[in-house]
Amino acid sequence: MIQIHIKGTEKEVKEITISGHAGYSHAGNDIVCAAVSSIAITSINAILRLDQNAIQYEEDEGFISIKVLKHDKVTVTLITNLIELLIELQKDYKKYIKINKEVSSC
């Protein structure tokens, strides 16, 4: 199962961590893993194309971490879009994707 952890406050997302494998199909043929990866990498590339200092990210096999450093309109819009796309994907593949939101007061 792919675990997605979203950390932040009520007003802003500070970090998104995506880890694991969906297990929908064999490696290389797993459409759920491919969809999650495509959504994340496309969003990361779009943000970095507009502002290299807006986020920091780390990527490894079965792992992506995004730290949001700037909360300008464009970055927030792209991060919000990333999260909404993942939520929509989770609706169709509940057995394979779990999203956890951790909201702090500060």
pTM score, two decimals? 0.93
- Residue 106 binned pLDDT confidence (cut-offs 50, 70, 90): low
Residues 2-104: name the CATH superfamily.
Cysteine protease Prp (3.30.70.1490)
More confident residue, 34 or 27: 34
- Type of residue at 90: Q
Q: For 106, what's the count of Cα atoms within 13 Å in the CB-facing half-sphere?
A: 0
**Nearest to residue 4, comparing CAs of 74, 12, 15, 48?**
15
Q: Where are the domains of the chain?
A: 2-104
pLDDT digits (tens, 9 = 90+) for 36-94: 999 999 999 999 999 999 999 999 999 999 999 999 999 999 999 999 999 999 999 99
- Type of residue at 34: A
